[in-house]
């Protein structure tokens, strides 16, 4: 069913990070432009890995496109607006929340209020789906 397939895509969305060197994944500081490009390639690797499995094209697309933005400023393709499925919009919002709420070698974990103070303007600026963010706020 679609709900189960979506959950699988959420669990696998960063599987492509296996193709990114640990020196970049665990860097104790900001990434330089070359490292950022390499880090962004994880969406490509996610697509390559998942596309090897027949019959999960929807999961592959949802997982691979979790960094797309409604205004077309995301990656890997630069999809925008109606070209993004609801599942991709939800994953994008959840991925941003997870990134901001997690402690990383280069930053502290943010509080829920701090996170929503960052994400609310992303809705206003047309980057992320307001409906998806509202639902996240209800369940967090």
Q: How many CA atoms lie within 13 A of 12 on its CB side?
A: 23
Domains of the chain: 2-139 (1.10.3210.10)
Q: Annotated catalytic residue: which of 17, 27, 40, 137?
A: 17
Single out the residue of 17, 20, 9, 25 nearest to residue 61, CA to CA: 9
Rounded Cα distance between 116 and 87, Å, is: 20
d(CA 140, CA 40) in angstroms, rounded, equals 27
Confidence of residue 76 (pLDDT cuts 50, 70, 90): very high
pTM of the model: 0.93
Residue linked to tokens 């109606």: 82
Residue 103 annotated in active site? no
Q: Where are the beta strands (DSSP E) in 30-93?
A: none
Mean pLDDT confidence for 55-77: 98
């Amino acid at each position: 069913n679609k709900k189960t397939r979506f959950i699988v895509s959420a669990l696998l969305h960063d599987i492509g990070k296996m193709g990114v060197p640990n020196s970049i994944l665990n860097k104790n500081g900001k990434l330089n432009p070359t490292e950022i490009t390499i880090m962004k390639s994880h969406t490509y690797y996610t697509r390559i890995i998942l596309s090897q499995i027949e019959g999960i094209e929807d999961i592959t697309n949802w997982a691979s496109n979790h960094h797309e933005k409604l205004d077309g400023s995301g990656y890997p393709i630069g999809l925008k607006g109606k070209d993004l499925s609801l599942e991709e919009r939800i994953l994008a919002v959840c991925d941003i929340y997870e990134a901001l709420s997690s402690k990383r070698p280069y930053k502290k974990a943010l509080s829920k209020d701090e996170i929503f103070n960052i994400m609310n303007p992303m809705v206003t600026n047309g980057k992320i789906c307001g409906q998806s963010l509202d639902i996240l706020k209800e369940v967090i």
